[in-house]
Structure 1
Amino acid sequence: MSICVADLPQPWQKPSSEELLAALKQLQVEPPIWNPGTSRKVILESYQNTAQLRREAAAYLSSIIKSSLSWIQDEDEKEAIWDEASRRLAERCGRAGMGEITRRWPLEDQVSSPFELVIREPPITGDSLGLKTWGSSYLLARSLGDIAKESLPHIFTLRTSNQSLDVLELGSGTGLLGMAAAAIWKTNVVLTDLPTIVPNLAYNIERNRSTIEALGGKVDSGVLTWGSEDGNAEQFASKNQFKIVLAADPLYDDDHPELLSSAIVAHLAQDKDARAIVMVPQRDLTTKKLAAKFLSIMIVSGLSVLEQRTLVGQDDWDEDGEDSGIECWWAVFGRQ
């Protein structure tokens, strides 16, 4: 149900602190859940329909922040109102302007049993891309059931009911993809990232562990820095131990294609049936060049492309009301 800002208590009415706080709670922006099946037309129409409300809400919040709230005697109550209004305004400045958020991500396993994963995203400050859940991870997570049937039948159809796989996710971030793989594929998944990212990753794993285990999956986490052995968790001392390696949105810098490919070569099992699945959003020319460089390095490293496709979904938090649809390239690699 949409909220009419004009119906909310206005500063000139001198409402109580309780009334103002209740009104500000109503204006809280819920984190979006990307749906790969949503068309760009529907997304654009949604933005257009809410644009006026966003402007009205921003003006209302600004009026409260600028107000001295002189009719409220308690200074702590004033501070609480200003803080709450500031949070509501920050939520309308895009993901980078927000504090910690928690999102719920709906998914289905291979027998169409619905479940959801609850993901915490700390505030994004500085170089903290791994503390945000990127759209491509949800897009790939939603596709895991089909990938098992269409791209990995040699692995999943031959697996007995009590036989587990060893799956590694590189650059797990907040953990959505790796945890989804554990639940949907009903197998063991080790989620990895840099030392600064792993604490939040481990938190999200513990929060969702009971859901994942109820569906037949198991999850663990560890520090794994691409291209370096120093400081990596002990579970990665043995090389080439994972039947499947996953990575979503892993390429940002010029050195990432080589580092990612070296990590896959080092940890993907030598078995000819082993597979690496990588998804890269095609945001701009730079991203496309990084994907092309990664592809060429993988081939030179002895890993060939067995399948490649594109999927279209939403890429990022909406910050300006424009369409955030993005095309994502993904490929399945196997040893030559």
Structure 2
Amino acid sequence: MTEPQQPGSPGSDKSFPPSQDLWSQSAAPSGPRSAAQEPGWERATLEKLAFAALNEQRSARRWKIFFRFAWLLLIAALVFGAMRQASTGASKSTPHTAVVDVKGEIASGAEASAEFVVAAMRSAFEDEGSQAVVLLINSPGGSPVQAGIINDEIVRLKAKYNKPVYAVVEETCASAAYYIAAAADEIFVDKASIVGSIGVLMDGFGFTGIMDKLGVERRLLTAGENKGFLDPFSPQTEKQREYAQAMLNQIHQQFIAVVKAGRGDRLKTTPETFSGLFWTGQQAVEMGLADKLGNLDFVAREVVKAEEIIDYTRRDNVAERLAKRFGAAMGIGAAKALTSAGPQLR
């Protein structure tokens, strides 16, 4: 009987080399080696990660440099704007007509505030080249306090520098705006301008009737019996109304005194002059509230005799505008809401 041949014996199959391990042969991969089995794959992976991290750092550094450069440009623009604003007035040696705008609401924090207008007027008066100061007015009025400060400063600066002040009215010069114009040596208007409104008001709302209908109870605690008399949700007593009216009458008399002092004998007083009515520019000239018809160019050319016009108006710089736009305006609005119940010349 023939015994089976053993692998590796002299008579065994030639396809199996004597030194070949069948198990290791079957376990070996038949295709090409995977990337993870290539020699040095760990190092290649680490290099890729390192390069990726380096690229990310470079990108972050570029963005950081970009933002820093943008901030530098913004700061440079702000500095340039401030320097340009500070240098308003150009050549001091050249004779010119100085102009200061009084436009919009006359109120604290506005462009027509006493802070801005007074600062501009001081610069205009101090300039040796300015032959006269023109207040270019287009305003419906505003705060009697702000207008009073500007009026007093006009009187003081005129006496100190011995330079004339002219008011030139565009569309409107009413109430607090006329309070300011009254201090000028002469007032020039367009025939269709709105001039006057010499009066005082205090406005607000009362919601007590609506609250009663809705069954809403107002719970207001105060220390002082009159502390909340301007509260729109509380009833107003006759005593409180009389008190507020007396205060308005006093401010009205102050307004009248300023107009009479500024206009003097030119004012042709009638029962309606100080009633709060307003008139066209042509009517204002006839009533003595204004002197002549004319615009800014006419006054500079024919009255001041200095045709070159230089604007001294103080305006918000870029930083202030951005601050007001992105948050500060909300605070200003809240402040105005709290003070809106005060006396107004408008």
> Common fold, TM-score beyond 0.5?
no
Q: TM-score, normalised by structure 2?
A: 0.26
Larger Rg belongs to: 2
TM-score by length of 1: 0.26
More helix by share: 2
Q: Which has the higher strand share?
A: 1
Q: Larger relative contact order (C-alpha < 8 A, sep ≥ 6)?
A: 2
